[in-house]
Structure 1
Amino acid sequence: MAGLQAGAPTPTALTVHSQSRILEIAFSDGAEFRIPFELMRIYSPSAEVQGHGPGQEILQTGKREVDVLELEPIGNYAVKPVFSDGHESGIFSWDYLYYLGAEQSRLWDEYQRRLQAAGVERDAPMVAAGGHACGKH
């Protein structure tokens, strides 16, 4: 699903709220979302988080306090956030940001289920790479 579909909503406003750790985004279809940085970080579309196929996802923990230091524009279709924990390989297309905003409550529920399944706390420090894969569902 590369690029934008014709007629897909595009952002009309994008505001990074550092204090509240929220990305506020308004779209051309009138939708407005407030997406927590933590949600963006744990659902980053990068291979570092998503792995290289279904079931390969790396469960992210300890991201409640993560900040977005900057948002680099990628052409006119995406942004690349630089997170305070050093993660900066995720490219968030407008479609993906819309999905995160629209599906927020379901995604939080899914995250909680994945934490429980792995037996870890939301605020647990991340296990260093090379540890076990926690992509259990």
Structure 2
Amino acid sequence: MAGLQRDTPIPERIVLHQRSRVLEVAFNNGETYRLPFELLRVYSPSAEVQGHGPGQAVLQTGKRDVEIRALEPVGNYGVRPIFSDGHETGIYSWDLLYELAREQDARWRDYLERLQAAGASRDAQTGAG
């Protein structure tokens, strides 16, 4: 997906809140959103998460406590978070970031339903290692 949609709001301010694990994004249309790190991680646009075609998305589990260690700018169109679980291949365009922000309630419900259907958990598995 090259470039931005013409009417996509552009972030004016992006703040990582480590303690509450949310990314606060203030867009130039006056809207401000707080996106949980976990939501950003499980909806990463990377091929590792989304697969290489429709219906190939991989359910992400055990991401409740994931953190964003760094946020790198990508050109003038997006950012690339470096997550604490080593994931760093997702580039979040301003289009995608705005879409996730606007749809976060529905996406959160969908994620929780998919976890439940798979008998999976938001919590990391504890064990040897």
TM-score normalised according to structure 1 size: 0.87
How big is the shift at 1:53? 1.1
What residue ranges of structure 2 are gaps of 5+ in the alignment?
Answer: none
Distance 1:2 1:35 in 2: 24
Please list, as runs of the form range in 1=range in 2, the aligned pairs for 1:95-114 lying within 5 A after superposition: 95-114=95-114
Distance 2:28 2:88 in 1: 27
How big is the shift at 1:73? 0.3
Distance 1:7 1:57 in 2: 28
User: Which residue of the partner structure matches residue 8 of structure 1?
Assistant: 8
User: Which residue of the partner structure matches residue 90 of structure 2?
Assistant: 90
How big is the shift at 1:124? 4.6
How big is the shift at 1:104? 0.7
Secondary structure at 1:26's aligned position in 2?
A: strand
User: Which residue of the partner structure matches residue 81 of structure 2?
Assistant: 81
Letter in 1 for 2:60: Q
Runs of 4+ in 1 over 3 A off after TM superposition: none
Secondary structure at 2:101's aligned position in 1?
A: helix
How big is the shift at 1:31? 1.0
Distance 1:70 1:121 in 2: 25
User: Which residue of the partner structure matches residue 121 of structure 2?
Assistant: 121
Secondary structure at 1:7's aligned position in 2?
A: coil
Number of matched residues?
125
Whether the 8 Å contact between 2:65 and 2:123 is mirrored in structure 1 is: no
How big is the shift at 1:2? 2.6
Q: 1:124 to 1:68 in 2, by over 3 A?
A: closer
Q: Quote the RMSD (CA, aligned, Å).
A: 1.0
User: Which residue of the partner structure matches residue 26 of structure 1?
Assistant: 26
How big is the shift at 1:3? 1.6
What residue ranges of structure 1 are gaps of 5+ in the alignment?
Answer: 126-137
TM-score normalised according to structure 2 size: 0.92
Alpha-carbon displacement from aligned partner over 1:26-63 (angstroms, at most 9, x marks no partner)? 10111110000000000000000001111111100111
Secondary structure at 2:100's aligned position in 1?
A: helix
User: Which residue of the partner structure matches residue 130 of structure 1?
Assistant: none
How big is the shift at 1:123? 1.6
User: Which residue of the partner structure matches residue 50 of structure 1?
Assistant: 50
